[in-house]
Structure 1
Amino acid sequence: MLAKQYIIKQQLEAMIGSGRLQIGERLPSELLMAKEFGVSRETFRAAVRMLEEEGKLLVKHGVGTFVLRPLPTIPSSLEKLSSVGSMIRTAQLDEGESSVSVRIEGCSEEAAKALGIRPEDPVVVVERIRTANGEPVAFSINTIAKAWVGDAFEQEEFRGSLLNFFENRLGRKITTADSEICVPLHIDRNCQRLLLYPHTTVLLLKQLHYDEANQPVLYSLDYLRNDVFSFHIRRTI
Structure 2
Amino acid sequence: MQAKHYQVKQRLAEMIDNGELRIGERMPSELVMAKEFGVSRETFRSAVRALEQEGRLLIKHGVGTFVIQPLPLIPSSLEKLSSIGSMIQAARLDEGEERIRLKTERCAPEAAQVLGIQPDDPVITLERFRSANGEPVAYSINVIPRQIAGDRFDNGQFEGSLLEFFENQLGRKIVTADSEISVPLHIDRNCQRLLLHPQTTVLLLKQTHYDEVNQPVLYSLDYLRNDVFTFRIRRTI
Question: What is the TM-score with the length of structure 1 in the denominator?
Answer: 0.96
- Partner in structure 1 of residue 112 of structure 2: 112
Task: Point out the more displaced range, 152-161 or 165-174.
Answer: 152-161
- Partner in structure 2 of residue 75 of structure 1: 75
Alignment of 1:158-197 (within 5 A): 158-197=158-197
Q: Quick one: which amino acid aligns to residue 195 of structure 1?
A: L
- Measured in 2, the distance between the counterparts of 1:106 and 1:182 equals 25
Q: Is residue 150 from structure 1 mapped to residue 153 from structure 2 by the alignment?
A: no
Q: Quick one: which amino acid aligns to residue 21 of structure 1?
A: L
Secondary structure of the structure 1 residue equivalent to 2:6: helix
Secondary structure of the structure 2 residue equivalent to 1:117: coil
Q: How far has the Cα of 1:49 moved from its partner?
A: 1.7
8 Å contact from structure 2 (residues 114, 208) kept in 1: yes
Q: How far has the Cα of 1:151 moved from its partner?
A: 1.2
- Partner in structure 2 of residue 138 of structure 1: 138
8 Å contact from structure 2 (residues 102, 156) kept in 1: no
Secondary structure of the structure 2 residue equivalent to 1:158: coil
What percent identity do the matched residue pairs reach? Answer: 72
RMSD (Å) for aligned C-alpha atoms: 1.2
- Measured in 1, the distance between the counterparts of 2:117 and 2:19 equals 57
CA distances 1:98-129 after superposition (whole Å, capped 9, x unpaired):
33421111111110110000111111101010
- Measured in 2, the distance between the counterparts of 1:193 and 1:99 equals 14
Q: How far has the Cα of 1:156 moved from its partner?
A: 5.6
Q: How far has the Cα of 1:60 moved from its partner?
A: 2.1
- Partner in structure 2 of residue 49 of structure 1: 49
Q: Is residue 232 from structure 1 mapped to residue 232 from structure 2 by the alignment?
A: yes
CA distances 1:159-208 after superposition (whole Å, capped 9, x unpaired):
11111111111111111111111110111000000000111100000000
- Partner in structure 2 of residue 92 of structure 1: 92
CA distances 1:209-230 after superposition (whole Å, capped 9, x unpaired):
0111111100000000000000
Task: Point out the more displaced range, 196-205 or 100-109.
Answer: 100-109
- Partner in structure 2 of residue 101 of structure 1: 101
Secondary structure of the structure 2 residue equivalent to 1:153: coil
Q: Quick one: which amino acid aligns to residue 176 of structure 2?
A: T
Q: Which runs of 5+ in 2 are unaligned?
A: none
- Partner in structure 1 of residue 35 of structure 2: 35
- Measured in 1, the distance between the counterparts of 2:31 and 2:60 equals 16
- Measured in 2, the distance between the counterparts of 1:55 and 1:99 equals 26
Q: Quick one: which amino acid aligns to residue 77 of structure 1?
A: S
8 Å contact from structure 2 (residues 204, 224) kept in 1: yes
Q: Quick one: which amino acid aligns to residue 133 of structure 1?
A: N
Task: Point out the more displaced range, 19-28 or 195-204.
Answer: 19-28
Q: Quick one: which amino acid aligns to residue 6 of structure 1?
A: Y
Q: Which runs of 5+ in 1 are unaligned?
A: none
Q: Quick one: which amino acid aligns to residue 211 of structure 2?
A: D
The count of corresponding residues between Structure 1 and Structure 2 is: 236
Q: How far has the Cα of 1:24 moved from its partner?
A: 0.8
Q: How far has the Cα of 1:37 moved from its partner?
A: 0.9
- Partner in structure 1 of residue 5 of structure 2: 5
- Partner in structure 2 of residue 200 of structure 1: 200
- Measured in 2, the distance between the counterparts of 1:81 and 1:100 equals 24
Q: Which aligned runs of 4 or more in structure 1 are off by greater than 6 angstroms? A: none
Task: Point out the more displaced range, 203-212 or 15-24.
Answer: 15-24
